[in-house]
Chain A
Amino acid sequence: MARTRVALDVEIPSDVRYIEGVVELAAARCRELHIPARKCSLNLRVALSEALSNAILRGNGACRDKMVRIRATVSDDAVVFDIADQGPGFDLAAEQTDPTTPENVGREAGRGLFLMRHLMDRVELVGDRGNTVRLTLRR
């Protein structure tokens, strides 16, 4: 069985001003763990930024009393981020819009989940309430 250990465990209020700091902290941890540089600078930073923004704005409705927890575990082959909010949860499967089609490419919104799915190796909801997004980034 693969060894896993906690690489990061932080909690932030639902305020988008915290996003950049947490993302940079996570990227620094990934660099220390020898995750390839490109994955740290692009894949992780954009996908985690999207997940945090979803958790803060959609999950917790930007209510500062509600918290978002970011927990990362690392194993020999991957880093896994769990981003948990205190909202009612949402349905990942229902969000399948392709923002790259000719009719959608000029739209202002609708790229968040697309970016997460394309920049991470796996995006899923875990837990009973559907309010924890799990991002898996393989080494």
Chain B
Amino acid sequence: MSFSISKQGDVVVVDVDGQLIVGIRQELKQKVLDELERGGKKFLIDFSQTGYIDSSGLGVLVSLSKKIREQGGELRLANLNDDLQTLFELTKLDTLFQISDTRERALESF
């Protein structure tokens, strides 16, 4: 499990490589909060390499979404596989997040 952070224009792109579950969620949170502190406003988290997310991972995404909004920023999610899409629909988190099929569409949506 790892995260990589890159910039595409003024968008901070976080690639999640592996499952976003209880043992790893704090690392993602801290990396995004560090970028937020550095002045990042637009965030995209790409889940193309993620199979599943547990409740603590979903909780971290909710928390980050709030913190980014509080700073006047925006968060987008992209590349959820069918299982992840089902998970977001089941928890109704698809109503809380802007989710795009592809990274390109997510970048265009800012």
Chain A residues with CB under 8 Å of chain B are 16-17, 19-20, 38, 41-42, 45-46, 49-50, 53, 57, 99-100, 105-112, 114-115, 118-119
In the complex, are the beta carbons of A118 and B90 less than 8 A apart? Answer: yes
- Which B residues between 51 and 71 are near A, CB-CB below 8 angstroms? 51-56, 58-60, 62-63, 66
Nearest neighbor of A115 in chain B, beta-carbon distance: B55
A contacts with B: majority SS: helix
**Residue in A19, A45, A115 whose beta carbon sits within 8 Å of that of B23 in the complex:** A19
* Cβ of B19 under 8 Å from chain A: yes
Chain B residues with CB under 8 Å of chain A are 1, 18-19, 21-23, 51-56, 58-60, 62-63, 66, 82-83, 86-87, 90-93, 95-96
In the complex, are the beta carbons of B95 and A20 less than 8 A apart? Answer: no
In the complex, are the beta carbons of A106 and B90 less than 8 A apart? Answer: no
Q: A16-B23, A42-B52, A53-B54 are in contact. Are A115 and B90 (CB under 8 A)?
A: yes
**Residue in A19, A106, A111 whose beta carbon sits within 8 Å of that of B66 in the complex:** A106
